[in-house]
């Protein structure tokens, strides 16, 4: 196996520096050279050895922020909650993570890139949907959820929230986004998966209202 050409530059360090710069300057205003300069003035090759583009960096950063503070792992430690309550708590924890939320917002326009969109779809299918399925099945077992479509809904949840509600994938005004989210609530309620209560509706509504979308 070939040795790392840049052993002094780790992926973790690149992501740490990139996260700070994206938060301070914004994704669009941060260049690869800015990141290089914060890593000790090394050449761009030091970064390109690990990441082919700035888009790959923010994509990897989003995944790292999620799995470093995985809300699904957190809720499984809360034994006093039933399956439905755990699903609601996942949503609240996800939106309470300010850094992850901000990186997520900055990533939205990038999903016009078919390759990044395909990577997100694959991550949702392989990693996120099974986590939702585990909680839905737990809710069915403890009686807090009565749906007959556990697997189907576990796969559909990421599609609705991570694709259909993204204005870069399905262009929409803020008013249209709020209408679509109201539909998501209605649909999930009709499928006996009432995870969007008044508190969560307010949290997500506030998030959608502060997205920069074209009117």
pLDDT tens digits along 67-96 = 777 889 999 999 999 999 999 999 998 888
211 or 174, which is more confident? 174
Q: Domain for residue 122, yes or no?
A: yes
Q: Domain for residue 215, yes or no?
A: no
Are residue 108 and residue 15 in the same domain, yes or no? no
Are residue 159 and residue 194 in the same domain, yes or no? yes
Sequence-ordered list of residues with C-beta below 8 angstroms from that of 116, at least 6 positions apart, any chain: 55, 59, 110
Are residue 128 and residue 171 in the same domain, yes or no? yes
pLDDT in tens, 116-155: 677 778 888 888 999 999 999 999 999 999 999 999 999 9
Q: Domain for residue 144, yes or no?
A: yes
**How far is residue 21's CA from residue 14's CA, in Å, rounded to a whole number?**
11
pLDDT at 111: 63
Are residue 38 and residue 124 in the same domain, yes or no? no
How many Cα neighbours within 13 Å face the side chain of 87? 28
Are residue 47 and residue 110 in the same domain, yes or no? no
Query: Is pLDDT of 6 > 60?
Result: no
Query: Is pLDDT of 100 > 70?
Result: no
Question: What's the number of domains the chain is made of?
Answer: 2
pLDDT in tens, 12-58: 888 888 888 877 887 788 888 888 888 876 778 878 888 888 888 88
**How far is residue 22's CA from residue 61's CA, in Å, rounded to a whole number?**
10
Q: Domain for residue 61, yes or no?
A: no
Q: Domain for residue 4, yes or no?
A: no
**Boundaries of domain holding 165:** 70-209
């Amino acid at each position: 196996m070939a040795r790392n050409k840049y052993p002094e530059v780790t992926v973790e360090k690149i992501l740490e520096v990139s996260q700070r710069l994206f938060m301070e300057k914004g994704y669009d205003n941060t260049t690869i050279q800015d990141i290089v300069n914060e890593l000790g003035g090394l050449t761009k090759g030091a970064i390109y050895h690990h990441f082919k583009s700035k888009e790959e960096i923010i994509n990897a950063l989003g995944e790292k922020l999620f799995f470093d503070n995985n809300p699904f792992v957190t809720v499984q430690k809360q034994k006093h909650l039933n399956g439905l309550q755990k699903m609601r708590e996942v949503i609240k924890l996800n939106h309470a993570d300010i850094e992850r939320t901000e990186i997520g917002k900055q990533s939205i326009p990038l999903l016009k890139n078919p390759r990044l969109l395909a990577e997100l779809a694959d991550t949702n299918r392989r990693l996120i949907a099974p986590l939702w399925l585990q909680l839905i099945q737990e809710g069915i077992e403890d009686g807090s959820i009565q749906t007959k479509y556990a697997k189907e809904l576990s796969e559909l949840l990421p599609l609705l929230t991570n694709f259909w509600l993204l204005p870069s994938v399905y262009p929409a005004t803020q008013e249209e986004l709020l209408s679509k989210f109201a539909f998501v609530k209605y649909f999930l309620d009709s499928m006996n998966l009432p995870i969007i209560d008044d508190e969560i509706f307010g949290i997500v509504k506030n998030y959608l209202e502060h997205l920069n979308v074209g009117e």
